[in-house]
Amino acid sequence: MKTVTGTGAINNYQSSASQQQPRRCTHCLSQRTPQWRLGPLGPKTLCNACGVRFKSGRLFPEYRPAKSPTFIRYIHSNSHKKVLEMRNQEADDLESLVFDPQLSDGKQQDQGLLKVKIKLTGLDNLSFQSN
C-alpha cells in the first residue's frame, strides 16, 4: 500500500479541491468557453467572448454573451452598437430625472434624487409596497 506524505499530500488535496468548483467567467458567469482569457482580476478569469471585449476596451456591464446564464434580454445585449444605444438611453433617462423642472421644492428634489439612485443601482424594475 502506497501512502503519500508531506507536500505531495497537500498538492493532491489542492488539485482535488480545484476540480470540485468549476471555473466561471467573472463577468458573465459562463462555465463553458473555448478559451479562458485575461481579465481585470488576472489570467484566465474571463470567457473567450468577454476577454476579447475586455482587451479591446469594450467590456461594459450591459454586455453579455447570448449564451450566458445571466443574459436578460431587456438589460443586456451581445451587440456593441446595442449596448451603446442602451447606455445613451439610460443617460438621457437619468438626465431627465435630475433636471426635472417639476421638482421645485426640497422634498420633490429628494424624491428625484432617490429615483436616480434607484435607476443607477438597477432596482427600478422592482416593485415595492409601502406600509
φ/ψ of residue 6, rounded to 5 = 75, -145
Distance CA 51, CA 36 (A): 8
Domain enclosing residue 44, as ranges: 22-73
Residues pairing with 42 in the sheet: 39
| Residue 131 in domain | no
Total structural domains in the chain? 2
Question: In this predicted model, what pLDDT tens digit does every residue of 35-90 receive, in sequence order?
Answer: 999 999 999 999 999 999 999 999 999 999 988 999 988 888 989 999 999 888 88
pLDDT tens figures, 80-131: 999 999 888 888 777 766 665 555 555 555 555 666 656 665 555 444 444 4
Do 45 and 69 have their domain in common? yes
**Predicted TM-score (pTM) above 0.75:** no
Q: Which of 43, 58, 73 is the last residue of a domain?
A: 73
In a domain, 8, yes or no: no
Whether residue 44 is found in the same domain as residue 84 = no
- Residues 64 and 116: their CA atoms lie apart, in Å, by 24
Around Cβ 21, how many Cβ atoms within 10 Å?
7
